[in-house]
């Protein structure tokens, strides 16, 4: 079979099953469970000869996308959980007593979500991502890392 057919089969069936409601269950998976699930992805990569996204990447992308949809929808019942800190750079984290609560969807979503205010209009009329300099100064992380982080966040916001 061709690599394209095997890749399509993986994405349509196996990945679909593995990522079904991933935002609900993946945060509280044990490291052993995550390793076993990632082994399925690596085996599929080996068989098909194509590269696939890791389950952690899929989880982060979906949580971020869902969080931004909640933030945009002021009628959503949990919209009030996403309150900006006074600096406006991040959302206020939820307090939790247990690791189970800390790893659940809403605390994870708040940690992964960046405020829409970090976006600004470019001169060409498009949107661009701006990280506040006090959060990621070049002295702390370097220019190349900052650029990669901007690209990654831009990808999450526009998927």
Mean pLDDT of 98-122: 75
CA end-to-end distance (rounded Å), the chain: 31
Say how many domains are in the chain: 2
Residue at which a domain ends, from 113, 133, 151 = 113
Residues 127 and 76 grouped into a single domain: no
pLDDT score at 124: 46
pLDDT of residue 123: 43
Counting Cα atoms < 13 Å in the Cβ hemisphere of 26 gives 23
Q: Are residues 60 and 86 in the same domain?
A: yes
Supply 104's token pair: 């659940």
Residues 64 and 132 placed together within one structural domain of the fold? no
Task: Answer yes or no: do 35 and 71 share one domain.
Answer: yes
148-155 long-range Cβ contacts below 8 angstroms, 24+ apart = 153/114, 153/118, 153/129, 154/128, 154/129, 155/61
**Residue 125: per-residue pLDDT:** 46
Nearest alpha carbon to residue 26 among 49, 2, 55: 55
Segments forming the whole domain that contains residue 141: 116-159
Task: Indicate whether 123 and 105 sit together in one domain.
Answer: no
User: Does 86 lie in the same domain as 37?
Assistant: yes
Q: Which of 91, 113, 135 is the last residue of a domain?
A: 113
């Amino acid at each position: 079979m061709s690599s394209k057919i095997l890749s399509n089969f993986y994405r349509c069936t196996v990945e679909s099953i593995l990522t079904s409601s991933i935002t609900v269950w993946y945060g509280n998976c044990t490291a052993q469970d995550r390793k076993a699930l990632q082994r399925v992805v690596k085996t599929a990569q080996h068989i098909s000869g194509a590269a696939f996204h890791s389950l952690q990447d899929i989880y982060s992308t979906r949580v971020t996308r869902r969080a931004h949809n909640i933030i945009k929808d002021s009628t959503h019942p949990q919209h009030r959980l996403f309150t900006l800190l006074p600096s406006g750079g991040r959302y206020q984290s939820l307090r939790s007593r247990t690791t189970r609560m800390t790893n659940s969807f809403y605390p994870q979503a708040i940690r992964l979500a960046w405020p829409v205010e970090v976006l600004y209009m470019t001169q060409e009329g498009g949107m661009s991502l701006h990280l506040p300099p006090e959060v990621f100064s070049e002295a702390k992380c370097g220019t190349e890392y900052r650029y990669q982080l901007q690209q990654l966040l831009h990808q999450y916001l526009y998927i």
